[in-house]
Structure 1
Amino acid sequence: MPHTSPPPAHPTRLVPLADAAEHLHVSVKTLRRRIADGTIAGYRVGRLIRVDLDELTQSLVVAIPSARSM
């Protein structure tokens, strides 16, 4: 049985991988790798794979601490 993610608990902004990759300035291949390793969730809609833009931003965008704030 294939691994499936539970549906998100909040309203989603499901977009194609190409749109999400362009939004974050990464490649589609990077997003596919992150889905495969479980870092982000992918949602299958028929034969298509979509990602939630809000969820994606929370998972992949990380603030870099400044040396000045330490």
Structure 2
Amino acid sequence: MTIAARRSYESLSQAAERTGISTKTLRRRIADGALTAYRCGRLIRLDPDDVDRILVKVPNGR
């Protein structure tokens, strides 16, 4: 696997800081099935692309 093809993951706190969404909201999205999380022991990791997909563009109404 090349470095370019390597998948990257982020923690809940990293995803929250990057997007401005609280960790509590991210945990709710995981619980309701809107966001896939990956667990390794006690650590929870998120795919940044999956996190970005839960953000929905709002039409400007013009």
Partners of 1:55 and 1:12 in 2: CA distance:
12
Cross-structure match for 2:56: 62
**Compared CA separation, residues 39 and 11, structure 1 to 2 (3 A):** farther
In the alignment, what sits opposite 2:7?
12
Q: What displacement does 1:46 show?
A: 2.3
| Paired letter, 1:41 | T
**Residue ranges of structure 1 left out of the alignment (5+ in a row):** 1-9
Aligned residues: 58
Indicate if the aligned counterparts of 1:14 and 1:50 stay in contact, CA closer than 8 A.
yes
Distance 1:12 1:30 in 2: 24
TM-score (norm: length of structure 2): 0.81
Cα shift readout 1:6-60 (whole Å, capped 9, x = no counterpart):
xxxx8532111000011110111111111011010000022200000111101x2
Q: Structure 1 or 2: larger helix share?
A: 1
1:46 to 28, 31, 41: 41
> Could you state the TM-score of these two structures normalised by the residue count of structure 1?
0.73
Q: Percent identity?
A: 47
